[in-house]
Structure 1
Amino acid sequence: MTVTLRPGRSDDLIEVGALHQRSRVAAYAPFLTTETLTEPTQAALGQYWQERWSHECADHVLTVAERDGQLVGFSYLGPDDQGDPTTGLLHAVHLEPAERGRGLGRMLMADALGEMRSRGWRAAALWVLQQNGPARRFYEQGGWRPTGATQQVLIGSTPAVLLRYRREL
């Protein structure tokens, strides 16, 4: 039952998309409607990840977590979306719902922060849904702090607010 982390590959992307969908449904179900969470589908998110990776693989890092040969989580990071060359952006940490609370998120976070340090970034940033209390607590326990910056987004047709968090490396 050992978890291993490894660099993501292009042949992981369909399963990354499926896991992303399962993770977001479990995390967002307390505050988003079922209709909102049915789109995009697992297949559509797999396609999204294939397209995204084709454009970003040169300067982004996908790390996958496997337990007994099965994909159970991933992280995705790259340069800051605000253009700060000293800051890396943690785009995603997603887990199989059954993995929540078992330490895998902390393992992926520690790995992502180490990768950011190795790239010479001095700080890390991320965006998290304002309504996602468990994720916000997870990040705050890991030393992340809200910056006060917000971003309006649509999840399906549902408006949502993202909060920007930051921490020193």
Structure 2
Amino acid sequence: MDGVRVREMTEADIDAVAAVRVRGWQVAYRGLIPQAHLDGMSVEQDACRRREFFSRGVGDVVNVVAETGAGEVVGSGVGEVVGWACFGPYRDRDLPSGDAELYALYVRPDLVGAGIGRLLLTESVARLSERGFPRLRLWVLAGNDRARRFYERAGFAPDGGTEAYEVEGVSVPEVRYARELAPAAA
């Protein structure tokens, strides 16, 4: 998408990232997660949690944002945050360590389908390849057909991993996807 740049997330982006994430959940997960939970989500509470996490340092976790209207200066922080991705080492202990995980990827709901998600995913894959990870894994809600198609078009496939977590007494099943990463050019 023209006019969109991906850059490192800064503390100044936290409110915008929280808005993208909460609105993304409320739209993408309608009918998949109890509506009461979605309605109860708060941008302010999400931003507060994100600030706490950010203040502790992120270690191996990388947060990037997609920004529009930033002008000539990449990462100037003067543009509008329209997407966010977060990735790092694979967290679950069910597989041998060494793989990477895409923890989150959200785009402002009115811009889904505009190429911002693809841009964020491409940047995430490139950075993880540069860090030498052999494989990238991610979890997606089993009923989130749009997200599953998005990841499948990007070369991901279900790897057999499944899990469910409970949201307000409702079991929400997830499917794990994986994709091999190309080694970084020497």
TM-score of the two chains, using structure 2 as the length reference? 0.84
In structure 1, distance between residues paired with 2:82 and 2:14 = 13
Q: Which residue of the partner structure matches residue 154 of structure 1?
A: 166
Equivalents in 1 of 2:169, 2:40: separation in Å?
10
CA distance in 1, matches of 2:166, 2:175: 14
Which residue number in structure 2 is paired with residue 98 of structure 1? 110
SS class of match (1:126): strand
Q: Which structure is higher in helix share?
A: 1
Q: Return 5+ residue gaps in structure 2 as ranges.
A: 70-78, 182-186
Tell me, yes or no, if the aligned pair for 1:85 and 1:121 is still in contact at 8 Å.
Answer: no
Root mean square deviation of aligned Cα: 1.6
Q: Shift of the alpha carbon at 1:22? A: 0.6
The number of residue pairs the alignment matches comes to 169
Corresponding residue of 2:5: 4
Q: Deviations over 1:83-140 (max 9, x none)?
A: 5442110001100011111111111100000011011101000011111110011001
1:14-163 superposed matches below 5 A? 14-55=15-56, 57-68=58-69, 69-83=79-93, 84-163=96-175
SS at match of 2:155: coil
Q: Distance in 2 between matches of 1:98 and 1:26?
A: 10
Most deviating of 54-63 and 88-97: 54-63
Distance in 1 (alpha carbons) for counterparts of 2:50 and 2:169: 21
> Which residue identity is paired with 1:52?
F
Letter in 1 for 2:8: P
> Structure 1 vs Structure 2: percent identity of aligned residues?
30
Question: TM-score by structure 1 length?
Answer: 0.92
